[in-house]
Amino acid sequence: MSMFPQRRSTLKVVALSFLAILTLLMAVPVFADEPSGAQAAAVGVAFLVMAVIGIAAYIYFAMALQTIAKKTNTENAWWAWVPILQIVLMLNVAKKPIWWIILFFIPLVGIVFAIIVWMAIAEARNKPSWWGILLIVPIVGLIVPGYLAWSD
C-alpha cells in the first residue's frame, strides 16, 4: 500500500501494512479447506474494505501534505501524490537534508525520523513542535496532518 503516502507518515505505512498482513494471516485458516462461497466472499469483502481504507488514507494524506507544502511556499507541492517523492517533499518543508530519506527506510529509525520531520513541519506551519510527536498516538496521529494543513 505504500505506495501509500509515507510517509503517510511512516507510521501510517507501518500501521496499514500491519493491518494488511494481519488480514492475510487471518485468511490462512479459511483456505486450509476448500472454501465455501460464503468464506470466499467474506475474504473478498475484507480485502475490498482494506483497499478502500488504504486509498482513502492515501488521498487524505496526499491532500494534507500538498496543502502544507503550498502554505509553506515549498516548491513542487504535487510531489505529495508520488510515493517516494512524498518523503522528499516532507524533508523540503521541514528544511532537513535530503539524505535523511535513507533513514526513513530503516525499521524503527524511520519512525523516529518521521516524528522529527513532522515536528519540523509543525514548526514550519507556526504550530508547536509537539504536534509532530502526536503522530505516535493511534487515532490522534491520523488527525495531525489534517490539522497542520487546514488550520489557520
**How far apart are the C-alpha atoms of 138 and 68, rounded to whole Å?**
22
- Does residue 7 surpass a pLDDT of 80? no
Q: Is residue 125 part of a domain?
A: yes
Q: For 55-99, what is each residue's pLDDT tens digit? A: 999 999 999 999 999 999 999 999 999 999 999 999 999 999 999
Number of folded domains that form the chain: 1
Q: Is residue 146 part of a domain?
A: yes
pLDDT attached to residue 10? 62
Structural contact between residues 2 and 83, judged by C-beta atoms closer than 8 angstroms: yes
pLDDT attached to residue 42? 86
Structural domain range at position 97: 9-150
Q: For 96-123, what is each residue's pLDDT tens digit? A: 999 999 999 999 999 999 999 999 999 9
pLDDT attached to residue 86? 95
Tell me which residue of 88, 83, 65 sits closest to 144, measured CA to CA. 65
Contacts of 86 (CB under 8 A, 6+ apart): 5, 6, 7, 8, 61, 62, 65, 79, 80
Q: Is residue 4 part of a domain?
A: no
Over residues 13-27, the mean pLDDT reads: 71
Q: Is residue 2 part of a domain?
A: no
> Rounded mean pLDDT of the chain?
86
